[in-house]
């Protein structure tokens, strides 16, 4: 009866029932003993090898002096801002190293609605993003058809504490508002823009191709893929651009704190492997 009720309650053609029936389940990979063809070592050493190869050490130290920006600070995060971000946290996501699920965050905020405003605004006031919220718990998935002995055969997913992700979202919203209101973003940027996406980028490309064909012109498209682009971004370059944006000083300093002392960790039966 329960299964029949579940199936008959479908209100969306691609909702829960569709996903149960057709979605292919993918589970995290176990860390093999053999890494790069070397039969020696333990699962913990293999995990450390994976972290060392995927997350390269920055060429420039990640501890910086706080900006000397003279821009006025932003006002504190409002209860409405915080509630809106927490409300839209997706359900059913795996927790990070702290074991706190999104649902628990929602329940706590509903019952004690002053806890998170006090916490996040204290972080903003002190320009401090707590180190405990910057530890990424790595879950690895083996790429289809790839040699499981090679570190490059694994796709890492970093699970970060939800409390930290809420604070990041609040910071990002403030920064985005500043950049949009000062026309600091290039009109050709489609990624990470409200109202723009890969679809709008493709439509713009197709429009240019159609215009060129109508005028009997040739079109040359150059596509560049950067391996490990997000993993290997230079933090100093990010902060230099942030300083140049003249964003509010407290938001600027909080981003400086966010990018310092970050760690990733990968759990094995013998313990955790960690990479700064």
Residue 26 is predicted with a pLDDT of: 46
User: Among residues of the chain, what percentage have pLDDT more than 90?
Assistant: 43
pTM: 0.78
More confident residue, 35 or 206: 206
Q: What is the pLDDT of residues 108-130, one digit of tens each?
A: 999 999 999 999 999 999 999 99
For 186, counting Cβ atoms within 10 Å of its Cβ (0-12 exposed, 13-18 middle, 19+ buried), the class is: exposed
Where does the pLDDT of residue 72 fall: very low under 50, low under 70, confident under 90, or very high at 90 and above?
very high
The secondary structure of 11-61 as a DSSP string is -STTSHHHHHHHPPP--PPPPPS-BTTB--S-HHHHHHHHHHHHSPPPSS-
Residue 34 is predicted with a pLDDT of: 46
Tell me what the mean pLDDT of segment 4-22 comes to.
Answer: 54
CA R_g for the chain: 23
Asked if the model's pLDDT at residue 106 lies above 90, the reply is yes
Q: What residues contact 38, with CB distance under 8 A and at least 6 apart? A: none
Report the distance separating Cα 53 and Cα 41, nearest Å. Answer: 16
Tell me which of 36-40, 159-163, 251-255 is least confident.
36-40
Q: What is the pLDDT of residues 217-237, one digit of tens each?
A: 999 999 888 776 776 778 888
Residue 23 is predicted with a pLDDT of: 47
Q: Are strands 271-275 and 263-268 parallel, antiparallel or unpaired?
A: antiparallel
Residue 31 is predicted with a pLDDT of: 58
Tell me what the mean pLDDT of segment 127-145 comes to.
Answer: 89
Name the average pLDDT for the chain: 82
Residue 126 is predicted with a pLDDT of: 96
Residue 61 is predicted with a pLDDT of: 55
Tell me which of 19-23, 59-63, 138-142, 204-208 is least confident.
19-23
């Amino acid at each position: 009866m329960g299964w029949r009720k579940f199936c008959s309650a479908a209100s969306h053609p691609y909702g829960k029932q569709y996903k149960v029936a057709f979605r292919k389940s993918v589970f995290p990979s176990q860390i093999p003993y053999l890494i790069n063809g070397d039969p020696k070592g333990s699962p913990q050493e293999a995990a450390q090898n994976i972290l060392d190869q995927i997350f390269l050490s920055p060429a420039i130290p990640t501890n910086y002096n706080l900006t000397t920006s003279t821009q006025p600070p932003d006002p504190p995060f409002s209860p409405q801002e915080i509630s809106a971000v927490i409300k839209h946290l997706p359900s059913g996501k795996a927790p990070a190293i702290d074991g706190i699920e999104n649902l628990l965050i929602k329940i706590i905020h509903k019952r004690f609605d002053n806890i998170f405003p006090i916490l996040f605004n204290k972080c903003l006031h002190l320009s401090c993003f707590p180190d405990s919220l910057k530890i990424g718990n790595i879950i690895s998935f083996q790429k289809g058809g790839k040699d499981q002995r090679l570190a490059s055969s694994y796709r890492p997913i970093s699970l970060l504490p939800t409390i930290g992700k809420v604070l990041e979202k609040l910071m990002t919203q403030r920064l985005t508002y500043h950049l949009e209101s000062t026309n600091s973003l290039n009109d050709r940027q489609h990624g990470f823009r409200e109202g723009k996406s890969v679809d709008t980028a493709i439509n713009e490309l197709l429009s240019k191709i159609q215009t060129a064909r109508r005028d009997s012109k040739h079109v040359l498209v150059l596509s560049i893929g950067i391996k490990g682009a997000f993993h290997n971004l230079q933090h100093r370059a990010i902060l230099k651009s942030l300083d140049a944006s003249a964003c509010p000083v407290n938001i600027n300093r909080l981003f400086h704190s966010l990018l310092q002392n970050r760690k990733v960790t990968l759990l094995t039966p013998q313990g955790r492997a960690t990479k700064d």
